[in-house]
Structure 1
Amino acid sequence: MDQKAPKAEKPSETTPGCSTGDEGATNAIKQSQGAGNMALLDQERETGVLDVQECYKDEDVVAFSETETTVTQIAGQSQVSGQGNKVINIGPNSNVNIFHGTSDDTNTVPSIGSPSEDFPLAPCQDALRAYFKTRMSYLHPLAWNETFTMKIQDVFTTVDLVTRTQQGGNIKRRALPSTVDALIARPDCPQPRRILVEGNAGIGKTTEVSKLAFDWAESEGRSPILEKYDLVFPIALRKVGESQSLTECIFDQLLPKDVPFQESDLETYLKGNDRVLIILDGFDEWAEYKEHGITDLVTGKILRECSLLVTTRPSHTPQLHSLMCPDTRVEVTGFSRGNIRTYIHKFFKGDQDKAAALVKKMDSFLIPSGILATPILLLLTCIMWEENPDMVLGGRIGPLYDELVSFIVRRHCAKNKIAFNQGIPDNIKDALLCAGALAFNGLLQNNLVYNKDDVAKYCSRESLQKLVLLGILHRQESPSRLNPSDQFSFSHKTMQEYFAGLYFAKKLQDEPALQSTLNMYLRTARSVREFENVVVFACSKLGCEADVLLAHLVNIYQEEFRSQIEFDLLRHHEAYLEIALFCFYESGCLSQFENIFLTKGVIQFSGVGPRVYNALGNVLNKIPSESLRNLEALWLTNTWQCFVVPVIDSLKMMNLSELNLRSACLGGHDSNTGPCARLSQQLPHLTGLRKLGLSYNGLLCSDLLVLLPSLKTLVKLEGLYLSCNKLAGCGKSLAELLCSLRSLEELWVCDCRLSLEEVLQIATAVVQHRPKMRKFGYGRLTGPGGDKKVQDVLRGKWPDATYRWGIAYLGQPKLPS
């Protein structure tokens, strides 16, 4: 369930979730140099100084560059000029540029007249619609079985799309029904024209593009959003050649040869046309050419009036963001649990008993693991389950791909009556090894499509033929009309990465100079991120032998992230930790885990999905408890569903002084078995806990009542953060809680829908029982005299207290006479 925090008014902008500005970092954070600035990402500032959060207002359009070194100006001159613009420094060499209103620059680009009326629009539309309805209305998911097709409307289940906006360093998420909705005008963006869509490997980006194109073809009278586009051009970047122009790409990939217009006609028509949508699918799969028309399109040097949507993996998001300067950013997060169940029933629409059996088997552990949020993995699992209902299902990706390749080989051998009882035949083994070399070296050159000469470097003619028959490689005709020839590619980029990972693992096993090999291919954190799936698959294959590779990852981490982490490197740092975590989980080799996750005493993940939490929960359960006692702070924040349960179940083994579960969707679940019930079981074990953040969780009064008994045991708790929950009716219970929390210095209940009477109850309890209280956040109160009544209660104990936006800064209490 996607929890939406209520829209914060001005007081909420200064209300912390679990931290209190510069002074809110715990000792654990202070002692961890690498995590020092991480606290800034998730906190809300309370100071009166204009800070990052206050730079982002609903009526402003913000350009934010996610480079690896600085937050820089990324807009053109026509964007920068204008009244009300701001340039705000947030650190050394770090500026945020805010562009407000319209430009007052007389040199801005003038409006362009209507596109050429001579262009045969209707024939072009008819050609595109015919192509989309015939070619994009069906999925061909199995390279080894070209006759197997699936209607996109029969199996397509809307993935979770989440818009991302930067507000004070926090990621604000808003669920979208579909990618199309990213094209709708918003208060902060009246004309969305540059949309960046990111998502992990196999998460459904290309399927989203196909569905959008198909919907446009079918949209006549159905979709006002899509009807505003006369033409839609989805271009697969992996198929774009170095010498091809943009219009050549459109002709080669989308249009028949007999259309009644030339490339030059289309090029003229596109100029200045705001009724065209161009989609570039797979920026991470494209060998970027600096002088290419695609690069000019992405950077806004050409066709600025056209709408542009570009998809990429997160590893390439910073680069694309800096080139593209998107006004809208969308994250494809994959299938929710409900999506997974719906997809399975659609897949087995002729056999609902089989669908129900698979859902039942998955519900217990596989769906919560997050692995099936990736549509390609769910599809492959359904296909293998259909053939073998007794197959063993686990939460790791490596064994799933192992099973898939074994399934492909077994199917091929059975079809061609090849004996398989002695294992994989030698000629198929040789072909698979060739596939590994081809995949690995192709990724090094960012090459996903091979000609015959490329393949011949690593594969014999017999091996190539065998790989095509197996369906490991897909044969396709070159898009070039001047030089048509066969080309080859893996069925999916993740399949290429799987074989590259196997090859890399074997290379590490065979190489006498291991360290030089690692240094050659994985020199920096950036190179690890670029080859993240290859590294993860290699670790899965190596198993306990992955220790040397994991030690190398630790060395890179300690070298690049040993000092304090700058604001603009936070996401890069967290992405590296995700890769390392998956490597530990997939390999099962945990001897190096402490050296990367526990030495700083802090584990922090923000905005990640269920696969991360499943891996983290599994790994933590296998770490010796004496090692986990070194963990002082755990920050698991900003999820779009409740994913944190696997980690909550491990809390009793830790010796935390700080636990931040801000915006983790803990509220509204079953009171006996839900996350609050499980958290309540663990909290009494955290006897040294000093800060607990539960803000923005959609907690109901019933949820708080489940937590209260365990909260009362936290006698060392100094800060309790409950803002932006739905706690109406719990004022008396919160007041009684203060009797037990004798060390409490900060309490935040802003925007919790508490009545004035309830706030007065809590304020009275603060006065009576908590003389050490320094800050009490109660929020702005509605009704006449509300603030004054609360202040009158507090002033008797703290006559010198100051008040700002519903926050009481209490200072020193009045000494007894």
Structure 2
Amino acid sequence: MRRQLPIGIGQSKETLQKRRKSLDSRTCPGEPAGLSRTTDMMEESPCLKQTSDKRRPMLLSPSLKIEPDVSSDSGTEVHSDEHEEGGQCLSPKSLASPSSYTSLASISPMPSGVDLKSLLDDTFPHSPNESLGQEFTEHTDSSSKPPRRAIDILIGGERFVLGQSSSDTSPHSPFRAYAEKGEVPSATSDTSIHDLRDELAKHYIRNMKQITPLPWNSKFLVDVRDVSLHYEVLQEGKRPGDMHRVRLKRFEDVFECKGLPGPRRIFCQCIPGVRKATLLNKVPVEWSRGRWMFLVERFQLLFSINLLDVAAEDTLWDTLRSQLPKPLSVASIESVKAFLLDEETQWSTLFLIDGYDERADINGDIRKLIQGRLFPDSCVIVFARPFHYPDLMQWMDTRVEISGFSIRSAYRLLHNYFPDNPHKAAGLIAALKQYENVTAVDVKRTSLHIWLLCVLWDDNPKKPFPETMTRLYSEFLSCVIRHHKELTREEIDVEAVLNPVGKIAMDGLLGKKAIFNLCDLEPVQDGINLLLELGILRSGSKCVDIMVPSSLLFSHTTMQEFVAGRYLASQLQPHNSTHEHLPFNTVKDALALENVILFASGTTGAAGKVILSHLSKIYADELREHEEAYYREQMPTAEFEEFRSFVVLCLRCLYESPVRKELCQCCMLDFLSRRVRLDWMGVPSQESVALQCFLCLTATEGTKSAVTDLTLSFHDYSLKKPEYLFNILHYVPHLRNLTVHLGTCLEKECEDLSLLDQPLGCLRELCSVHITGDARRFTGLSFAFLKPSENLTSITMQDVQLGGRLARVAANFKYLPCLTTLKLQDCGLTGEDVTAMSEYLYHVPLEELDVSFNELGNELCSLVTKLVDLPSLRILRMCDVSATFSTIETIGKALEHMNQLEELYLAQNEVDAWNYRGCWEDLVQNVCHLPKLRVVDVSRCLIGSHNLALLIKGLIHTMVESINVAYNEATNETMEAIEENLPQLPYLKTLNVSGNEISFHGVYYFGKALHQARNLTSLNVSYNELADVAVADLAGRLHQVAGHLRALDISSNPVTEEGLKNFASSMEPMIALRQLNMSGAGWQSFHLSDEAAVAIAQLLGRLPSLERLELRWITINTRLPGCVKQP
């Protein structure tokens, strides 16, 4: 069943169409941009007729209580935000409401490492106690008249005045322009908030519409509209280590991304140097200009907070007051206080918080705001580097990554730097396309590196291209120093200043200190002016009134890390091979100082050798014991990311080093000498170039190492993946196991994998090959690598187009005497392919066969008849193969002769015949001939309750451990059969009966025999007809399996709030339970009373092993009885 979005997220299609028509009617195509619209045009708009319209009004007052409409599940097209740079966005989001964002309780999925007992505090999401079905209403005073010189209009809860518009804003901007000075409309009594919005909009447009990317060139400005970033929502999958990425068209789309329940705490992670300040400027400016419609309609107030401007003793009010003009600060702060303390308006405030990297230890109101203990219904976006992920995600509900710039945007920025010399910009672009080193790759993602390259290219376009990040910064610094000497004509010893300032930079990074006063800089007191002129330091905060006078900062955090890395390298001399000077001794410390380590490794060869040796020691101490779990994807996502990031750090350190060949000969990365796994890798990217360099050096310079296991998972939006694989496979001649997850194609066209035939054919020791694509968008693989081999044991192809190709090479199977696993999922196989393959399968000792998700129909019969000749076949997967009546009959008859079968998967095979259930009778009865059967999956086959009862009776003669009969129209008859035969199913561990028609009597029968399920670890009864009495009865019997039940799912049943409370109250301690899903039905959300919420919270105390709790489509109050009241 298709999953539905929670009620309150989005609007119906009809509502959106009305909104679009309303906006189109306000747009005058014949009028030039920037000119004001006439009164006659506005009078024709339906927006002005809403007060007399009897239908639901679309334009609402700011003080009006709004109830949510029923949501619609609509997809989101993947684009970057560069499509809306040229003009106003005319694709408004749905009309938001307080209930849409404050009435949703989603405590699932929970980030790993979160203490479930924390749910007992006052951080529960809030929901107003109003009816969700109430119609929109608006009360207007018929006697009120609009002013003569200005027409006051309410649009989406915001005020706009016709008569004079700003040339720098769109009609949807919160900034108001009046016909005459001093004439303020009186359509709403909340004028103070609107005045504050005006001042904030003016402030943001005046101070943030342009950025200064180079601190030593204040005249070079870039408009934020010229910069388009790529945004991706990162969502953890149910499998450990699994990560789903959703590309957003614009940043504002994060609030309506499919599957996200109205985020209120967002962690926006940024790679170093991507200039998150660009987005921090872009969001307020687009809100002020009204270009991002959803932000305008969703948030009445927006505050941008830089933690570098916040003193330790400052309150939140002090911080907000610093953003306001002096005359309005006192009165406006009082209005903001009232606005935030009101639960009805608190939801429409957005806080942007920057500087967490430098002030992660900040306490007080800001930390409470981030944690949700202060103003929990407001929206907070925290910008930080990825290594803060484990700490921040315990408070955040959404994770967004700024993955860099689009190539088109990067090239446009290059042209902006050379406005009078386009030929020089074209030459730099050609050089970037020619080189594939880390700098050329990273420049397309990092704006800071774009500007550094522009400076170097402008200085000498004939100079060799820097191939490492360390060389880029070193050459840039040398260039700046040389120009400074030419300008001043003075000989200065820069090194005498850089070394002590490097120590200050290192101490600042270790102490989380980014702002320095004159006392801190006393060792370089005489060189401060020089450092300012070189652009290494800059003067203090913009908000100088709250900062210590004469405060100084580094021009960029990456510049601080560069000088700190140079200092660290100077301390690691060749004669001193100890690690006493290294400031990192754990994985977390190393990742926090990632750039410092890279710069130090690239400065001197001796430093690189010491650092890599120390990183190997850290790996042996902390990660070696988790190595198997990492390579098998059996560890939590946070730990998996940490492991992966550490591997990438080691590879990049080797690449940065000027003596990388020598280091590889010494086997400095011996823990990567045999097995390498790298997930979520972009092509091209820093990690992809570093990995290719490592594999090349391993093949040419390594004396003891030879990579035998290679696992690669590509980013969905990577380019040239087949070409990259073609290159690196030549560097692993001794490869035995290859696993490649290609992801999706960036373009709509398919990608050709024919390049892989040649390198795969050269891998003589290859034992297993696993290639996974997406939606058959990867074609051209001809299986030419299937040459006679006594080593190849496993072939797995998934979502790779092989239709019509397998038949030509099927004869090669007879030359593979050790082939035991053959998986061809969703490969577009034809009947000709299957028939040709079946003729040669008897030559191989096949143990596992998978042809799922191929439209085979009757052609499958020829393959099934040959399977009886495979005495070693243990696992058979034929899910969704468009099975026919004769296909199912043939499979049923073949089961009589397959007594070695251990796992049988036939899911999603709905037979299209008038007596479709009759063909299943032989199959369900013949399972008794499979004494070793452990797993049976016949879900979504609609085989009926009677056949399921026969299946259960046949399974008593097997060793079955897992039974999946979901969505098969099962009734209480099936549960009676399970109750009767449960004593004879002693090995049963997993039972899935979801999506059926089971009611109270079925659960009652099953519960009576539950004590016989001595090994049951997972039970799924979701999407059935279990009402309040049924789930309460089940909860009262679960104590019989309390010692071994690990997963329980009762979601999407017609359970009310009272039933959920009784379920929680009736459940006794379950010491082994790790996963519990009590979500409501997506089509019928309900509100959980305080008493029921407390009962669930108390239940957590009886579940000591619980790791995952799901409460989707259920609303919970923010403050529960007994909790401390929020300020």
Shared fold per TM-score greater than 0.5: yes
Tell me if 1:202 matches 2:273.
yes
Tell me how far 1:287 sits from its aligned partner.
Answer: 4.0
Corresponding residue of 1:17: none
Corresponding residue of 2:740: 661
SS in 2 for 1:607: strand
Corresponding residue of 2:399: 329
Tell me how far 1:638 sits from its aligned partner.
Answer: 3.8
Which stretch of structure 1 is more off in the superposition, 539-548 or 641-650?
641-650
Unpaired runs of at least 5, structure 1: 1-6, 9-58, 82-102, 420-424
Corresponding residue of 2:621: 559
Tell me if 1:121 matches 2:193.
yes
Tell me how far 1:729 sits from its aligned partner.
Answer: 4.8
Tell me if 1:782 matches 2:782.
no
- RMSD between aligned alpha carbons? 3.7
SS in 1 for 2:735: coil
Corresponding residue of 1:33: none
Letter matched to residue 62 of structure 1: S
Letter matched to residue 73 of structure 1: L
Corresponding residue of 1:392: 464
For the structure 1 residues 282 and 739, does the alpha-carbon distance in structure 2 shift closer, same or farther, using more than 3 Å as the test? Answer: farther
Distance 2:520 2:677 in 1: 43
Contact persistence 2:814–2:841 (CA under 8 A): no
Corresponding residue of 1:65: 111
SS in 2 for 1:370: helix
Tell me if 1:215 matches 2:292.
no
Contact persistence 2:309–2:541 (CA under 8 A): no
Tell me how far 1:320 sits from its aligned partner.
Answer: 1.1
Tell me how far 1:533 sits from its aligned partner.
Answer: 0.7
Contact persistence 1:667–1:703 (CA under 8 A): no
Corresponding residue of 2:767: 690
1:515-543 per-position Cα deviation (integer Å, ceiling 9, x unaligned): 3222xx12222211111111110111012
For the structure 1 residues 376 and 791, does the alpha-carbon distance in structure 2 shift closer, same or farther, using more than 3 Å as the test? Answer: farther
1:591-625 per-position Cα deviation (integer Å, ceiling 9, x unaligned): 55535344672111111331101011112212355
Which stretch of structure 1 is more off in the superposition, 267-276 or 597-606?
597-606
1:747-758 map, 5 Å? 747-754=822-829, 757=831
For the structure 1 residues 792 and 749, does the alpha-carbon distance in structure 2 shift closer, same or farther, using more than 3 Å as the test? Answer: farther
Q: Which has the higher contact order (CA 8 A, sep 6+)?
A: 1
Corresponding residue of 1:445: 511
Aligned length: 707
Tell me how far 1:264 sits from its aligned partner.
Answer: 4.1
Tell me if 1:525 matches 2:587.
yes
Contact persistence 1:192–1:328 (CA under 8 A): yes
1:70-85 map, 5 Å? 72-73=115-116, 76-77=119-120
1:179-225 per-position Cα deviation (integer Å, ceiling 9, x unaligned): 22112153x333122211112211242212221221111116x5234
Corresponding residue of 1:534: 596
1:491-517 per-position Cα deviation (integer Å, ceiling 9, x unaligned): 110010000101111122399684322
Tell me how far 1:635 sits from its aligned partner.
Answer: 0.8
Letter matched to residue 199 of structure 1: C
* Runs of at least 4 residues off by over 6 Å: 78-81, 111-117, 666-671, 807-813
SS in 2 for 1:334: strand
1:130-141 map, 5 Å? 130-141=202-213
Q: Could you tell me which of 562, 576, 598 is aligned with 2:646?
A: 576
For the structure 1 residues 459 and 747, does the alpha-carbon distance in structure 2 shift closer, same or farther, using more than 3 Å as the test? Answer: same
Corresponding residue of 2:356: 283
Tell me if 1:250 matches 2:320.
yes
Tell me how far 1:437 sits from its aligned partner.
Answer: 2.2
Tell me if 1:307 matches 2:379.
yes
Tell me how far 1:647 sits from its aligned partner.
Answer: 6.0
Distance 1:698 1:346 in 2: 40
Identity %: 22
Distance 2:357 2:470 in 1: 22
Distance 1:171 1:608 in 2: 12
Tell me how far 1:694 sits from its aligned partner.
Answer: 1.0
Letter matched to residue 454 of structure 1: D
Contact persistence 1:722–1:748 (CA under 8 A): yes
Distance 1:734 1:811 in 2: 33
Letter matched to residue 561 of structure 2: E
Tell me how far 1:347 sits from its aligned partner.
Answer: 4.3
Distance 2:479 2:261 in 1: 50
For the structure 1 residues 397 and 329, does the alpha-carbon distance in structure 2 shift closer, same or farther, using more than 3 Å as the test? Answer: same
1:641-656 map, 5 Å? 641-642=718-719, 645-646=723-724, 648-654=726-732, 655-656=734-735
Which stretch of structure 1 is more off in the superposition, 156-165 or 171-180?
156-165
1:358-437 map, 5 Å? 358-366=428-436, 370-372=441-443, 373-416=445-488, 418=489, 425-437=491-503
Corresponding residue of 1:621: 696
SS in 2 for 1:732: helix
Contact persistence 2:455–2:476 (CA under 8 A): no
Tell me how far 1:257 sits from its aligned partner.
Answer: 1.8
SS in 1 for 2:435: helix
Q: Could you tell me which of 796, 803, 806 is aligned with 2:904?
A: 803
Contact persistence 2:612–2:668 (CA under 8 A): no
Contact persistence 2:819–2:846 (CA under 8 A): yes
For the structure 1 residues 384 and 347, does the alpha-carbon distance in structure 2 shift closer, same or farther, using more than 3 Å as the test? Answer: same
Tell me if 1:164 matches 2:228.
no
Contact persistence 2:274–2:448 (CA under 8 A): yes
For the structure 1 residues 125 and 701, does the alpha-carbon distance in structure 2 shift closer, same or farther, using more than 3 Å as the test? Answer: closer
Tell me how far 1:303 sits from its aligned partner.
Answer: 0.9
Distance 2:197 2:663 in 1: 58
Tell me how far 1:464 sits from its aligned partner.
Answer: 0.6
Corresponding residue of 2:687: 612
Contact persistence 1:763–1:794 (CA under 8 A): no
1:596-607 map, 5 Å? 596-598=669-671, 601-607=674-680
Contact persistence 1:618–1:646 (CA under 8 A): no
Distance 1:344 1:480 in 2: 33
Distance 2:288 2:351 in 1: 14
Tell me if 1:515 matches 2:585.
no
1:36-115 map, 5 Å? 62-67=108-113, 72-73=115-116, 76-77=119-120
Larger radius of gyration: 2
SS in 1 for 2:347: coil
Distance 1:112 1:414 in 2: 72
Tell me how far 1:278 sits from its aligned partner.
Answer: 0.8
1:34-64 per-position Cα deviation (integer Å, ceiling 9, x unaligned): xxxxxxxxxxxxxxxxxxxxxxxxx976243
Unpaired runs of at least 5, structure 2: 4-104, 132-156, 159-187, 630-634, 854-879, 910-926, 933-1127
Letter matched to residue 469 of structure 1: E
Which stretch of structure 1 is more off in the superposition, 326-335 or 646-655?
646-655
For the structure 1 residues 481 and 677, does the alpha-carbon distance in structure 2 shift closer, same or farther, using more than 3 Å as the test? Answer: same
1:619-658 per-position Cα deviation (integer Å, ceiling 9, x unaligned): 2212355647632211111423147655642323421221
Distance 1:747 1:643 in 2: 28
SS in 2 for 1:704: coil
Letter matched to residue 436 of structure 1: G
Tell me how far 1:725 sits from its aligned partner.
Answer: 3.4
Contact persistence 1:238–1:286 (CA under 8 A): yes
For the structure 1 residues 545 and 229, does the alpha-carbon distance in structure 2 shift closer, same or farther, using more than 3 Å as the test? Answer: closer
Contact persistence 1:798–1:812 (CA under 8 A): no
For the structure 1 residues 806 and 140, does the alpha-carbon distance in structure 2 shift closer, same or farther, using more than 3 Å as the test? Answer: same
Tell me how far 1:478 sits from its aligned partner.
Answer: 6.7
Which stretch of structure 1 is more off in the superposition, 786-795 or 194-203?
786-795
Q: What TM-score, normalized by structure 1, do the two folds share? A: 0.78
Distance 1:675 1:759 in 2: 20
SS in 1 for 2:350: strand
SS in 2 for 1:660: strand
1:424-476 per-position Cα deviation (integer Å, ceiling 9, x unaligned): x33433332333122111112111121222222x311x301111122211113
Letter matched to residue 377 of structure 1: H
Corresponding residue of 1:259: 328
SS in 2 for 1:277: strand
Distance 1:717 1:468 in 2: 63
Corresponding residue of 2:655: 585
For the structure 1 residues 360 and 690, does the alpha-carbon distance in structure 2 shift closer, same or farther, using more than 3 Å as the test? Answer: same
